Amino acid sequence: MASNLPQENVWDYPRPPEIEPVQARLRVIFNQIVLADTTRAMRIIETSHPPTYYIPPEDVNQEYLNRNDKTSYCGYKGLASYYDFIPPDNQPIVKARIWSYENPTGSDEKYIGVKGYFSFYVGPWDCYVNDEKVEAQPGDFYGGWKTKNITGKVNAGSGAWSL
C-alpha cells in the first residue's frame, strides 16, 4: 500500500536543516518484534538527503536497546549517543544502528524538539512510513528513510563517526 505522501524533492529541502512534525505513522519491525510504532514523530529535512525520522521514547520498545560507547557530533544538534539492539533468542547483536540526541546542544535551539527521541537506520529491521516499506539512504551516515514520494539525487553522505 502506498504512503499517500506528497511529492518532495531532496534538493528543495533547506540548509540548514529544518525540524517538523510527521503527519504519518512510523513503524520499525524486526522479525515480528515491534521496536517502534508512533504517530508522534519528528523529522529533520536537509538539502540532498531523505528525511531522518525521530521517534519519541514512549513509542520505542527500549527493552531490546543497550546504549554503547559510540558517539558522533552534528554541528546543528550536538552529540549523538548510539544504541545496540539485543534481539531475543540469542540472535546476533546489532551494533550502533539506533541513535539519540539526549541533550541537543548544537548551533540552533530548534533541534531541542528531538531531545531523547530515537532514530533508526533502515536494516536489519524493516521501517515503514504509513504502510510503505522504506529504502535506506545510500551510505551509512545520515540514516535517511527514502519513500516513493521522495525524488532527486540523494547524497550518500560521509562524516566522522566518533569523538
Question: Average pLDDT over the chain, rounded to whole?
Answer: 91
pLDDT of residue 157: 62
State mean pLDDT over 24-36: 97
Mean pLDDT for 27-39 is 97
The CATH code belonging to domain 12-146 is: 2.170.150.40
Spell out the residues 6+ positions from residue 82 whose beta carbon is closer than 8 angstroms to its own: 67, 68, 70, 71, 72, 96, 98, 99
**Which tens digit of pLDDT belongs to each residue from 100-123?**
999 988 667 889 999 999 999 999
Residue spans per domain, the chain: 12-146
- pLDDT for 90 equals 85
> How much is the pTM?
0.92
Residue pLDDT, tens place only, 69-103:
999 998 889 999 999 999 988 889 999 999 999 99
> Is 161 a residue whose pLDDT tops 60?
no
Instruction: Tell me what pLDDT residue 126 has.
Output: 98
Q: How many CB atoms lie within 10 A of CB 35?
A: 24
